[in-house]
Every structure is written in structure tokens, then in C-alpha cells.
Amino acid sequence: MSPLAGLFVVLLLVAANGFFVATEFALVSSRSTRIDQLAATGSRAARMVQRAKANPTRFISGTQLGVTVASLLLGWIGETTFAELIQPGLDGLLGLVGQSPAAPGEISTTAHAIASVLALFGITFFHITLGEQVPKILALQRAESIVLFAVQPVSVLAWIFRPFIGLLYLFTNVVLRGIGLEYRGEETAVHSPEELQLLVSQAARAGVMTGPEGELVQRALAFPDQTAGEVMVPRTEIIALPVESRVQDALRVAQRHRHTRFPVYEKTIDNVIGILSTKDLLSVAARRGPRPPFGDVSLRRLIRPPLVVPQGASVFEVLASMKAARQPMAVVLDEFGGTAGIVTLKDLVTRLLGDVGDEYTPAVQEVRTLADGTILADGLALVEDVNAQLGTHFDASEVDSLGGLVFSRLGRRPRVGDEVDLGSGYRARVERLDGLRVARVRLLPTRQATPPPSGDQRTSSSSTTDGAVPRRPHSAA
């Protein structure tokens, strides 16, 4: 074989090696969802890829066979080719130093030794770059395109050499079982919710997913982990009616607070006996005329049985109970049977979609970054939401709200102006109290903290990027 023909064969072997390497990497890194979409459109190649991904051992055995054969032939032919290419130059150089050149068509021992060393470096260099690195990078960036193009020829090769590949497949499984492993197919290679959140963040940074899309997916992934106790309107913020209230009083409360439903209790808020709908109130008022006497109408006749859920119930369980009872409000009970709060369908939607609001509900900014670098936060803001928005790691294991965290760190009755270290480079100062509840908190960056963006930047549900949803600091019935 002439040196030029040998060089051409070497290039073909490098290309073949790169082809099989790229095919193997493309199969492993290709997205199953994209392949399934193409298969649904009738793509034959996509269906072949589906079968290969479901049981990749045989397919990978075929690519490995191609890689191994190409590499062995490359080393065998490449050494001789390199030696023949450098023969004329080495003969001339050896003649200058006094050594007789080799006869035409032969390779001197010295030339062969030098050729072996050069072949080792040269072939290794081109094999790694053109036969390994470049194909792998291409496969990672164009996985679906490459595997769809290569699956048919590789499948044909695997069919031709199926006896030998079957032996490789059998021996591979024997070795895997010997070390306690067994390949079960791609169905076990699934992502956890945490991994999916990281994938969404990466897609958003890469520009594949827009900000609102990323927010919605992040909220949807975080939604199942939340409980009724985290999303509820707390007991201290409930607007409720005693059962002995007059209808006129109930109408005035409904007009003042603009809610559509109110819990009705007997003697104490821990004994909620029903839910009053303003539609029922207005219906009674409409039937009685412009100046109706309501003395004969009792709230007991207008209320509906309350839906009760435990404080630790997941939001999915709460939602399922609401759907089954056709009741958009539930009373949340603590472990002692007392009323911990209420949760409405709107509260659940807010956790998933952000603050939807209405024409009667003012927009609420739970966290505001002021120009001086301090952060003003509502005491009812969830600690996990504040962590998501500010990148902090405040401890939320014992409490849910930021005000509760400050209260627990103080260890006594809070007073306006009290300060406490929350960690993560922030101190908290009590700005306002509502009775004993910490209603407003100012977060003061310490020297170790990186000051947040200034300019009175307001953080709300429309501006969060980590799935954090502002929590409304008042009842939402």
C-alpha cells in the first residue's frame, strides 16, 4: 500500500472511530422526550432510537465493536504509514551523519524505531482530538440529530455481527451481576423534583425558557411540598362572625372587608360551626326590599357546614377535599383541635400562580429592598419565600413566618426596635407590632453580607425568579 493510500485509510479509520463514539454519546445524552415527540409524528428512526434507549446494551456493544476495530486498525496501519512517509527524509538525514540509507522499498531499523515513536504521538494526538473529543462535543450539542442519523447504519452493523455482539452482551451482563449490578433500562433514570428545579434554572439561564415560564414551573414543583399550615391565613388575621350576629351587622362586615365568605363561630373562634357566603346575605337582602327587617333571619339558617382540614395536610389533600366538598374555604385545625387558620382556593392558586388579586385587593409587596440596602419585610412572609427571594438560609425548621422566626430568636415579648441576628449576613429589627405579633421586620445586612440591589427595589410575585410566592398578610375569604 502506498503512503498516500495508507494516509487515506488512516483518515477513514479516524472518521469511523469518531462516528461510533459520537453515536454512543448521542444515544446516552439524547432527550427521551424529544425522541418520543418525533416518534409520535411517525419517524422510523425515532422509533429505532426508542428501542435502543430502552435496552441500550446491545446498541452500545455495536458502537464499542466499531470503536475497538477502528482503533486497532488505526494503530496497525498508522505505524507503517507514518514510517513510509518519513522514510525519504530519514534516509537523507542518516546519510549526512554517515549511516548508509536503507534500500528502496525497505525501512531501516533506525527509521522504523523513530517512526514507531512518531506514530505513537501522532496517532494518539489525532485519535484523541478527531476521534474522541470532537465527536463527543458534537454529540453533546447535537445529540438528537446525530443519533437519528446514525441509528440505522449502526443497527445494520449490529445485525450483521449479532452473534459476536450477543456474546459481548451476555458477558457484560454476567460481569454486572457478579458485582451486584443489573441494568434495568432508562425507566430508572428519572429526575427528582430538586433535579428538575435545577434543570429549569439552567434552561432559564440558557434562554431556552422565559422568566414567567420558569417561575410557573418552579412554583409547580414546590407546590406539593407545602402544607395547609404554610399557606393558610393565620388565626390572628381571620375576619369571622359570631353566630349571634345580626344580618345587618354581617352585611356591614362584608361591605367593609370585601370578602366573599366568612367563618361563623359559636362562643369562640375555636368552634367554627359554618361558613357564611355573602351571596346568601345579598340574596336575603334582595328578597326583603330596600329597608328590610332582618329580625327573623338567623345566621344559622344561612351558613353552610365548614370543611375542616388538619394543619399538616398537604396542599394537594386540601385541594382534593375542596373539590369533593365543593367548598372553596377550609378551616385549618391544629393538633389540639383548635382553629389554626383558614385556607381558601385563592390561597392555593396564589401559591401556584402568584398574587392574582382583584379590584378590591391592593397589591402587597412582602419584601422591599430600599435604597439604603436594608430590606423591609412583612412579618407574615414565609421564611422559605424570603430565602428564595434573597438567597439566604434562615432556619425555617421550627417556624413558618419571618415574624415567628424573629419572635423565637428573641425568646421574650418583642418590642419595637428589638434586634436579633438571623444569620446569612442579616440582622432583623422589629419595626411594627400587631399586639404580640411581629408585623413588620427590617433586615439589616451585616459586614459579611452582600448588599442587595438598591433603588427601592420591590419584590412581589411578578418579580420573583425562584418560585417564591408572596403571602398575603390579611384574611382572604
**Within 13 Å, how many C-alpha atoms sit on residue 96's CB side?**
5
**Within 13 Å, how many C-alpha atoms sit on residue 455's CB side?**
2
Taking residues 419-430, report their average pLDDT: 90
- Write out pLDDT tens, residues 192-220: 666 676 777 777 677 766 667 777 777 78
Cell (9 digits) for 145: 440529530
In one-letter notation, the amino acid at residue 320 is: A
For a pLDDT cut of 70, what percent of the chain falls above it?
Answer: 77
Highest mean pLDDT among 47-51, 247-251, 336-340, 468-472: 336-340
Taking residues 232-252, report their average pLDDT: 90
More confident site: 343 or 281: 343
Residue 332 pairs in a beta bridge with 309, 341
Taking residues 114-141, report their average pLDDT: 81
Taking residues 423-433, report their average pLDDT: 90
Check residue 100 and give its pLDDT. Answer: 54
The rounded mean pLDDT for the chain is 79
Cell (9 digits) for 397: 425548621
Q: Report how far residue 377's alpha carbon sits from residue 176's, in angstroms, rounded to the nearest whole number.
A: 56
Other C-beta atoms lying within 10 Å of the C-beta of residue 466: 18
Residues constituting the chain? 477
SS3 for 173-194, per residue? HHHHHHCCCCCCCHHHCCCCHH
Question: Nearest-CA neighbor of 468 among 413, 405, 387, 408?
Answer: 387
Does the pLDDT of residue 460 top 50, yes or no? no
Burial class (CB in 10 A: 0-12, 13-18, 19+), 210: exposed
| Residue 406 contacts residue 428 (beta carbons within 8 Å) | yes
In one-letter notation, the amino acid at residue 42 is: G
Cell (9 digits) for 228: 395547609
Q: Report how far residue 282's alpha carbon sits from residue 89's, in angstroms, rounded to the nearest whole number.
A: 105
- Write out pLDDT tens, residues 56-95: 777 887 888 888 888 888 877 876 777 677 666 655 665 5
Residue by residue, DSSP assigns 25-68 as: HHHHHS-HHHHHHHHHTT-HHHHHHHHHHHSHHHHHHHHHHHHH
As a dihedral over the C-alpha atoms of residue 192, residue 193, residue 194, residue 198, rounded to 10 degrees, the angle is 100
Check residue 463 and give its pLDDT. Answer: 35
Q: Domains of the chain: which residue ranges?
A: 3-188, 193-225, 228-353, 367-459
The CATH T-level fold of domain 367-459 is 3.30.465
Could you tell me the pTM of the whole model? 0.55
Strands 261-266 and 268-277 turn out to be antiparallel
Check residue 111 and give its pLDDT. Answer: 58
Does the pLDDT of residue 403 top 80, yes or no? yes
Check residue 313 and give its pLDDT. Answer: 93
pLDDT band at 187 (very low <50, low <70, confident <90, very high): very low
Highest mean pLDDT among 107-111, 143-147, 213-217: 143-147
Check residue 292 and give its pLDDT. Answer: 57
Q: Report how far residue 32's alpha carbon sits from residue 186's, in angstroms, rounded to the nearest whole number.
A: 9
258: left (phi over 0), alpha (psi -120 to 50) or beta: left
Question: Nearest-CA neighbor of 366 among 401, 415, 405?
Answer: 401
Alpha helices in 263-304 (DSSP H): 278-288, 299-302
- Convert 320-339 to b/e letters by CB count within 10 Å (16 or more is b): ebbeeeebbbbbbbeeeeeb
- Write out pLDDT tens, residues 254-303: 888 888 999 999 999 999 999 999 998 888 877 765 555 565 678 888 99
Identical fold between 228-353 and 367-459: no
Question: Nearest-CA neighbor of 50 among 66, 70, 24, 30?
Answer: 30
In one-letter notation, the amino acid at residue 139 is: A
> What's the CATH number for 228-353?
3.10.580.10
Give Dmax (Cα) for the chain: 129
